[in-house]
Amino acid sequence: MSHLESATRPDIDLDVLAEVEQRVLWLATRIVDHANRRGDAGVKVGGHQASSASITSIMTALWFGHIGGRDRVAVKPHASPVYHAIKYLTGELDRSYLTTLRQRGGLQAYPSRTKDPDVADFSTGSVGLGAVAPLFSALTRRYLDSHVGAADPARFIALVGDAELDEGNVWEAVADPATAGLGAFTMIIDLNRQSLDRVIPDIAATRIKQFFANAGWHVAEAKYGRRLAKAFTEPGGDALEAHIDEMPNEAYQELFGLAPASARAAFLAGADPAVLRLADEYDDEALKALVTDLGGHDLGLLLDTYRACDAEQERPSVVFAYTIKGHGLPMAGDPLNHAALLDQAQVEAFRDELGLTAESEWDRFDPDSAAGRLCAQVGGAINNPPPTPRPQLPVPASARRLTTSGSVSTQDAFGRVLSSLADVDGVGERIVTTAPDVSISTNLGGFINKCGVYHHTERADHGGADRLLKWAPGPTGQHIELGISEMNLFMLLGQLGLAHDHHGHHLLPIGTVYDPFVLRGLDAFIYGLYNDARFVVIGTPAGVTLAPEGGAHQSTITASVGAELPNLTTYEPAYASEVDWLLCHALAELGHPDGTSSYLRLSTRPLDQSPFAEALERMGEKQLRRQVIGGGYVLQPAPTDGQPGVTLITTGVMAPEALAAAETLAIEGVQSSVVHLTSPERIYDDWRAGLTTATRSARIERRASLLEQLVPVEQRDWPVVSVHDAASHSLAWIGSALGTRQHTLGVDSFGQSGTIADLHDIMAINAGSITNAALYALSQLDEPVRERSAR
């Protein structure tokens, strides 16, 4: 079955479709109007009546004349009311929701697949991301077709505003070789030539079309409606077309808000005599209707254009649909109409024009009418059932033997563990890795040698299969290499992480990226998490411990960012077996009903594994694994002689410095406990959860958190010294949680090139600094607070 046959309804009655279009426009307008008249918000509610009107024709033609249930569509953020109006008319949205826009528990301001009652495809709202999310979903489908067999055809469509093309991530996605040849994808641009607050003086549409064409895309346009296109073929038509094409955007936009006679005068000012002669054949109203006949509001032309894109099986398509912002409403073409709202009289006039009343204004069509039958037919074809739960895969608790000797970096351990997981039945074939041109330097080489590089067609490897790193792209490969674009990395991870919901096959996506450059893709990272996509991010190498690479490659705030992102758990292991346990746990979480995505912050610094071996012998494997996954464990306990001491809290590669400081303190006669946090975030969340429960229930008693288990009661009044190869504030909450003083050591300035010892000394996170901080903290124990504050 071809894309065209799968969904398009070629027998559509355009008059009926126009009737539906008007009802969609009315409902979208009234949804926003009602939200702003509720009077319960306390602040401006807002909404986008003009932006919704701009794209109503495009969306009506798409939903009621083109797509089917397997197709996936990202809706322009400001068109949320249009989307909900369509879903209501087709039976997927209950009427009660129409009066809940931007209200608690109601319709969201922008389409949300996790919070709206009727969105199953893509969230939009962060401008530019929804424009390419379906493109990466199409790439995910192509990957799955190569690995599990071709599924029934599906199309992937993005509805975007022209101003979204200002976003750089759009062009990063368009240009990436991984997205080439995705014929199932179409981007439809609502080209109303207005941004938020202005008429764009030079949209340079021709130049933008050329960008797409140069990237190998099929470029189509719906520029002029059929009436105007026909007029271009009449005597003087060439001059008419040239006159319209040469009009400044501002002048053309102005025509829509003018009375017919004024529109004639404005349009014909300075026109060629041939245009004047042609215009004489039309009265004022007919001339205005003719010259404002844009293709983006011509339902028949739109359907034909969509079908032409379906015929392009070997390359993605882009449609430039010329529209007018506010089309069909009194605000049409007003350069300041972005946030404008119809007043009550205008709303009532619109309602009367449609033959509706205050009692019937929210009604669906009569089910026995032609429009009602069309809505029912479409509703049965496009309503998406809720996805089934993700499967629980047989991910092992550990993929390798325990590493208890030698020196190993966490980045190296990751590569070894991933290579071992590739051999696990039911798991290895589900893993798909991706990287922005850093696969080798992030230790994906072993996995790539086993599983190959993905390309949807067989390609000549030019000897790549015979090299030490077997780089031979083909359909069975499980690594997708991207260009140097972290935005593309996180966009692809997000769509791979929704493979089960969108395509019925659960994948285990793992993306690797240089840790400081996580921030380059942060917007797309957040977007994936907001969509409840499930994936694993490996940020490596992290921190100033990268040393010789210099400050531009030394991350400082990523630990805090990871800890603060919802739907994500961040880990920072120190030892190889911790990486093993945590990566296996992270992959298992991807299928758990209450699971999250995971972010592992790793390092290239080799660490002696003997301290882990000692903890293993003291605690046993079962308990140690439980605490590693839970967020932390006592790496080196303090003596139990009741003497005062200090608690040293570390995470990741700072463990050796903390242990060295503990050794020095012991020589000075000061005892200490070294607590290693494999996930400060999990420790914090566990501690905070107890407080939240106690607060909501108004109970004074609460359970002991894992942090309080790691620091026993007799040590709670010891001062805390925390050290992190990241911003010092990332662990600064611990003293408060334990009810004691804390000194925080971390990285609070940009780094530079040097040795590890140099950088640790510069940032005061070396063993000597930890020792000095501990001694200073102890010296303050008996000093009155007022005296300390005075100093």
Between CA 17 and CA 3 the distance in angstroms is 22
Give, in degrees to the nearest 5, the angle at Cα 376 between 373 and 381. 130
Q: What is the pLDDT of residues 392-423, one digit of tens each?
A: 999 999 999 999 999 999 999 999 999 999 99
Q: What is the pLDDT of residues 283-320, one digit of tens each?
A: 999 999 999 999 999 999 999 999 999 999 899 999 99
Q: Are strands 632-636 and 671-677 parallel, antiparallel or unpaired?
A: antiparallel
The partner residues of 72 in beta bridges, in order of sequence, read 156
CA atoms 506, 508, 514, 518: torsion sign: positive
Q: Which pLDDT value is given to residue 23?
A: 98
**Mean pLDDT across 38-55:** 84
Q: What is the pLDDT of residues 418-450, one digit of tens each?
A: 999 999 999 999 999 999 999 999 999 999 999
H or E element, residue 613: helix 610-619
Complete DSSP assignment for 628-643: HHHTEEEEEPPPSS--
Q: Which pLDDT value is given to residue 682?
A: 97
State yes or no: pLDDT of 493 exceeds 70: yes
CA atoms 725, 730, 734, 740: torsion sign: positive
State yes or no: pLDDT of 27 exceeds 80: yes
Cis peptide before 541 (omega within 30 of 0): yes
Residue ranges per structural domain of the chain: 3-223+295-381, 238-293, 407-608, 631-790
Q: Which pLDDT value is given to residue 784?
A: 55
Q: Which pLDDT value is given to residue 8?
A: 52
Between CA 342 and CA 330 the distance in angstroms is 8
State yes or no: pLDDT of 694 exceeds 70: no
**Mean pLDDT across 142-158:** 94
Q: How confident is the model at residue 519 (pLDDT cuts 50, 70, 90)?
A: very high
**Mean pLDDT across 338-346:** 87
Q: Are strands 407-408 and 607-608 parallel, antiparallel or unpaired?
A: antiparallel
**Mean pLDDT across 198-209:** 64
**Mean pLDDT across 367-383:** 91
Q: Which pLDDT value is given to residue 575?
A: 98
Q: How confident is the model at residue 697 (pLDDT cuts 50, 70, 90)?
A: low
CB 119 within 8 A of CB 112: yes
| Contacts (Cβ under 8 Å, ≥6 apart) of 770 | 648, 657, 658, 660, 661, 721, 723, 745
| Contacts (Cβ under 8 Å, ≥6 apart) of 338 | 48, 50, 51, 194, 196, 197, 325
CA 52 to chain centre: 23
Between CA 742 and CA 287 the distance in angstroms is 77
Q: Which pLDDT value is given to residue 125?
A: 85
Task: Catalogue the E-assigned strands of 437-572.
Answer: 479-482, 508-513, 536-539, 568-571
State yes or no: pLDDT of 38 exceeds 90: no
Q: Which pLDDT value is given to residue 791?
A: 44
State yes or no: pLDDT of 214 exceeds 50: yes
**Mean pLDDT across 685-695:** 80
Q: Which pLDDT value is given to residue 10?
A: 61
**Burial class of residue 483 in the structure, from the number of CB atoms within 10 Å of its CB (0-12 exposed, 13-18 middle, 19+ buried):** middle
Give, in degrees to the nearest 5, the angle at Cα 214 between 302 and 294. 25
CB 616 within 8 A of CB 622: no
Between CA 10 and CA 429 the distance in angstroms is 41
Q: How confident is the model at residue 199 (pLDDT cuts 50, 70, 90)?
A: very low
Look at 788 and 466; give whichever has higher pLDDT: 466
Query: Average pLDDT of the chain?
Result: 91
Between CA 173 and CA 496 the distance in angstroms is 15
**Mean pLDDT across 383-398:** 88
Classify domain 631-790 by CATH architecture.
Answer: 3-Layer(aba) Sandwich (3.40)
- Closest of 244, 754, 411 to residue 549, by C-alpha: 754
**Mean pLDDT across 672-701:** 84
Between CA 614 and CA 319 the distance in angstroms is 64
Q: Which pLDDT value is given to residue 162?
A: 86
Q: How confident is the model at residue 239 (pLDDT cuts 50, 70, 90)?
A: very high
Q: How confident is the model at residue 3 (pLDDT cuts 50, 70, 90)?
A: very low
Look at 696 and 625; give whichever has higher pLDDT: 625
Given the candidates 3.40.190.80, 3.40.50.620, 3.20.10.10, 3.40.50.970, the CATH classification of the domain at 3-223+295-381 is 3.40.50.970
State yes or no: pLDDT of 197 exceeds 50: no
CB 777 within 8 A of CB 735: no
Classify domain 407-608 by CATH architecture.
Answer: 3-Layer(aba) Sandwich (3.40)
Give residue for tokens 């040590």. Answer: 715
Q: What is the pLDDT of residues 621-651, one digit of tens each?
A: 999 999 999 999 999 999 877 688 999 999 9
Between CA 115 and CA 580 the distance in angstroms is 35
C-alpha atoms less than 13 angstroms from C-alpha of 430 in its C-beta half-sphere: 24
The partner residues of 159 in beta bridges, in order of sequence, read 188
CB 725 within 8 A of CB 543: yes
**Mean pLDDT across 737-760:** 95
CB 790 within 8 A of CB 782: no
Please tell me the least confidently modeled range out of 471-475, 559-563, 586-590: 471-475
**Mean pLDDT across 451-476:** 80
431-469 as b/e, with b when 16 or more CB fall inside 10 Å?
A: bbbbbbebbeebbbbbbbbbbbbbbbeeeeeeeeeeeee
State yes or no: pLDDT of 167 exceeds 60: yes
Task: Catalogue the E-assigned strands of 385-465.
Answer: 407-408, 431-436
588-614 as b/e, with b when 16 or more CB fall inside 10 Å?
A: bbbbeeebbbbbbbbbbbbbebebbbe
Please tell me the least confidently modeled range out of 371-380, 548-557, 711-720: 548-557
H or E element, residue 132: helix 129-148
SS3 462: coil
**Single-letter residue type at 628:** V
Q: Which pLDDT value is given to residue 463?
A: 63
Q: Which pLDDT value is given to residue 204?
A: 65
Q: Which pLDDT value is given to residue 428?
A: 97
Q: Which pLDDT value is given to residue 461?
A: 67
CB 110 within 8 A of CB 82: no
